[in-house]
Chains A and B, each alone.
Chain A
Amino acid sequence: MSALGASTSSAAGAGRRGFIDPRALMRIGSLELRARVVVEGFWNGLHRSPFHGFSAEFTEYRPYSAGDDPRYVDWRVLARSDRVYIKKFEDETNLRCHLLVDRSRSMDYGSAGVTKADYASTLAATLAQFLQRQGDAVGLMTFDERVREYLPARARSNHLRQLLLALDRPIEGRATDLVAPLEHILTLVRKRGLLVLVSDFLAPLDQLEASLTTLATCGHELLVFHLVDPAEASLSYTSPLLFEDLETERTLFVDPEVARAGYRARFTAHLEAVRRSCERQGVAHHLLSTDEPLELALFAFLKTRQHRAKSVRGARPAGGGQA
């Protein structure tokens, strides 16, 4: 619980002002509209923010000087202002991002009007729309105990619609397997790119670290959004209840007053295990509570990307980047 509190409270405390409450956001029926609302607000705020976009990232204009490659002259600026400028880029290749979204039954839980599945879908849709606005290619893989749907990364405008449709489908899975989709994506995605995994990680973690290692070895950049419901984290029920597992439908009589302490300890240990596995493999891990605004996730996403861009830039020899 301490991990959850530490990771979310600072971000939430700093950024909740002016953001949309997830419960209010989920009242919008259309997934596309929800994502657009988040992205529009975020996009407008971006101008005032210190963050910049990433792939094919434009960094600055520089006046043309003799010997510069005329390919990088900004012809529009020339046409408008009759001055010759050269555009400078971080990276000239477009980003290929794959969103891996957990659609197992355990995601169909929500204590405050927002289920983890809705939150995950909206988060994935928001990221997809955001990336598409930047001209990046976005793909999607939904999974539970097996891979349900796979859409390869594309940058076309109608691709977003297919993606949203896949995210809007009802939940069918009975269990969660975190290893199979990661292994499967390796066989499907040959080019290196960004993989964003959105899940509640309510599954055995035995093979998770091994899969993360494989991905890192293959050169993929991995970003993990670990979703947690507040009630799930705290077990804040008062009366004795018959708990029914959403995935296995197994029932268990539990008195929360008695079981709370042990539950929280085990739950926090599980979260910590996931975080440590990610950390060891250099995977960015973001713990998100479903009562936090989605914009925070976007900020976390951009922050991670920027951090990585800096580290890449730092690793390159001087004069790197675009030339």
Chain B
Amino acid sequence: MSFLAPLFLAGIAAVALPLLFHLARRTPRARLRFPSLMFLVPTTPRLTRRNRLEHWLLLALRCLALALLAFGFARPFLKETDTAADGGGRIRRQVVLVDRSASLRRDGAWTATLARVDDLVRAATPSDRMAVIAFTRTPVTVLTFAEGASLTPAERAALVRQRLERQPPGWEGTQLGQGLIAAAEALTEEPVQVERDGAREVVLVSDLQSGARLDALQAFEWPAEVTVRLEAIEVRPAGNAGLQAVVPPADQETVDEAPVRVRVTNSADATVERFQVGWALRSGEPVPGGDVDAYVPAGQSRWVTLPRRPQAGLERVTLRGDAHAFDNTTWVAETERERVRVLYLGSEDPADAREPLYFLQRALPANARRQFVLTAMRGDIMDTEPLVSAAWLVAGDAVAGATATALRAEIEGGKSLLLVPKTLEAARAWVTWLGGEPGAVRQERASRYAMWGEIDFRSSVFAPFADPRFGDFTKIHVWAYRAIDPVALPGARVLARFDTGDPALLQIPLGRGTVWLLTSGWHPADSQLGVSSKFVPLLWSLLEASGAIRADSPPAIVGEPVTLDPALDLAQAIRPNGAIEALTPGATRFDRTHEPGLYRFVGRRGTQRVVVELDPGETRTEVLAPDELEQRGVRLATTATAAKADRTGVSPDAPALVAEGRQKLWRWFLGATLAVVLLETLVAARTRRAASPVEGVTP
């Protein structure tokens, strides 16, 4: 049996203590509190041989408990494992995991990382198997086990340095969990003969920022034979602050541009708490007079509202007062107001409060982001240009002839149409246009009123109303509607029904487009929908479902894909540094967001601008507590071993450490100690009971 901490064996000397106590017991322990000693004279204690021999069992138990405890603390492990690990020619495998995330862009961090990796690679013996993996969001192998096996340590070091220098820290976040998993898998997958299987170790060279992501480790069972040694890169000065743009709320109703807000985050180890935030030119130079003071205590974040852009075209915001500049810039895209053309096919007067058009034009107000251009056109006029230019179509009256044909072509081409037939005739005409039987339509006039009853909240139109707080449509009274048998319309899906069971809203696919059919109008003659609080949200929901308006692009994170708007038919991507990339036709995502900044995607039908930001976790540069890794199952090398390894560059105790960690013999020793202590307590209690109760005052 060998010991990992043999110094603790010196604790066995403590068995002398109970021996001394037992010898000292020659003087009586029984003590009596007496009123006064003024009449007493001391007596010389009488010693007998029997006195010294009594309680030998207690003495033995106490000595045994101390000895067991000392053995336990010495961390024993079985010798045969130990011998093999030391001298049996076992092969040690090591993966050096190098962090090259954005936080390593701080001054001196990368140089220190390269030097530390160099030391580690050189310190390995030629028989050691070594691989080097660099990671940010994804791990990349720098040196494989196979490459390393054929090289001397010096050659390995030179090759690793050369390759790492070609891959300086990027802008991506730290997926430490992914990196550790890749290293552990590389170690477990590397084949070695069973009898030569030695220690397996991951040496993590990183600044160990607390913003590193460890989520991936949650679903990974860490291999028992792999230990992790932390090689922390210290960066001076400590502390770091960062900047992120805050997306303005989507329901901004003002026509003016919304105020720009940014979030300033300060790391927990920061010493600086006062910063300035302001607009900056493309070159990074601050715009004079536009700074806002921000006071952010360490470990907290604050929103800062910026003044309006002093001049058009400013899209860069910088943070000043922080020692590390890598995360001190964010971008706020200058929004262009979107013009959405809506075509209403109907013949009514826009000022007539009894007609649907009157309500429609009031349900589409302009705001800072978009402006609706509502055009009304009679359905029997032969003019296809408005049909082509409109993003969304609403029809009250029936259409005929070439207009009907052109309309069908537009819908089948991908547009959406909302049908609101005001009369039975119009309804029948539209059903015929949709390929249904006109006989399936009849006029219904409720004796009292009908209500919206059964609603399909799983559909995209009603999904925003799924919350019970918003899902009550029963307050909308319906006086008249056109009852349509949905079976008569090919592919029709009923999204809402009246309490009578007749459909209220139908969704009918037509080519690549969609037709929505409201069987009752929103104008007062048909229902109260136009004056209901549900009208505008329902209309916007239909607009979004039809693709006529698009949701705002939230800022993306470096390395994450950006979703592209297919309606814009985008062809080119302009990167923040001005480089132009061609996009594949019909692409719906852009993956190559390697650096932060403002990306512009240009297409035939418009431009999409997306801000790509640094991972906010990179700002949190305070050191990660090793407990965080242990809580996720990662087995860390002990501090003592790490310190030793720090001096030598390698961990010579690693096989012993692994053996000891696997066997955990100290648990048995601790358990035996507890058992002996328990036995000692019982024996002592019995002995005490047997002795005369002199402690009491009973004579």
Contact = CB atoms under 8 A, between A and B. Distances in A.
Interface of A: 105-107, 109-112, 116, 200, 202, 229, 231-232, 234-248, 250-255, 258-259, 262-263, 266-267, 270
A267 B34 CA distance: 14
Contacts of B33: 109, 244, 246
Interface in B28-68: 28-43, 45-46
B639 interface: no
Nearest to A200: B35
Contacts of B28: 239-242, 253
30 contacts: A109-B35, A111-B697, A116-B35, A202-B35, A229-B35, A231-B697, A231-B699, A232-B34, A235-B699, A236-B699, A237-B694, A237-B699, A239-B694, A240-B28, A240-B45, A241-B30, A241-B31, A241-B694, A242-B27, A243-B34, A243-B37, A244-B33, A245-B35, A246-B34, A246-B35, A248-B37, A250-B37, A254-B42, A255-B43, A270-B39
B193 interface: no
B43 A109 contact: no
B37 A111 contact: no
B694 to A, nearest CB: 6
Given A237-B699, A251-B31, A243 B40 contact: yes
Interface string B659-699: 00000000000000000000000000000000010100111
A263 B39 CA distance: 6
Contacts, number: 98
A246 B32 CA distance: 9
Given A110-B697, A237-B699, A202 B43 contact: no
Contacts of A254: 40-43
Contacts of A237: 32, 694, 699
Contacts of B699: 111, 231, 234-238
A261 B425 CA distance: 134
A29 B217 CA distance: 66
Contacts of B38: 202, 270
Main secondary structure of the interface of A (DSSP, over half): mixed
A241 B42 CA distance: 10
Contacts of B42: 252-254
B40 A259 contact: yes
Interface residues of B, number: 24
Given A253-B28, A254-B42, A258-B43, A246 B36 contact: yes
B37 A245 contact: yes
Main secondary structure of the interface of B (DSSP, over half): loop
A252 B46 contact: no
A239 B43 CA distance: 12
Going nearest first, the 10 A-B pairs with the smallest beta carbon separation are A106-B35, A236-B699, A255-B43, A266-B39, A202-B36, A109-B35, A231-B699, A245-B37, A243-B34, A241-B32
The listed residue with most B CB atoms (<10 A of its CB), out of A234, A241, A248, is A241
Contacts of B45: 240, 253, 255
A253 B692 CA distance: 17
Contacts of B694: 237, 239, 241
A45 B256 CA distance: 106
Given A241-B694, A242-B30, 12 more contacts: A232-B35, A239-B30, A240-B46, A241-B31, A242-B31, A243-B32, A245-B35, A253-B28, A253-B45, A263-B41, A270-B38, A270-B39
B46 A255 contact: yes
A259 B43 CA distance: 7
Nearest to B34: A243
Contacts of B32: 237, 241-244
A105 B29 CA distance: 22
B43 A253 contact: yes
Contacts of B692: 238-239
Contacts of A255: 43, 45-46
A202 B45 CA distance: 27
A252 B45 CA distance: 11
A105 B32 CA distance: 14
A270 B39 CA distance: 9
Contacts of B31: 241-242, 244, 251
Contacts of A250: 37
The listed residue with most A CB atoms (<10 A of its CB), out of B27, B36, B37, is B36
A49 B35 CA distance: 37
A242 B29 CA distance: 7
Interface in B212-262: none
A252 B36 contact: no
Nearest to A240: B28
Interface in B1-38: 27-38
A55 B41 CA distance: 48
A252 B32 CA distance: 10
B39 to A, nearest CB: 4
Nearest to A255: B43
A102 to B, nearest CB: 11
The listed residue with most B CB atoms (<10 A of its CB), out of A234, A245, A266, is A245
Nearest to A263: B39
A80 to B, nearest CB: 56
A245 B39 contact: no
Nearest to B42: A252
B233 to A, nearest CB: 62
Contacts of B46: 240, 255
The listed residue with most A CB atoms (<10 A of its CB), out of B35, B39, B41, is B35
Contacts of A236: 699
A247 B36 contact: yes
Contacts of A232: 34-35
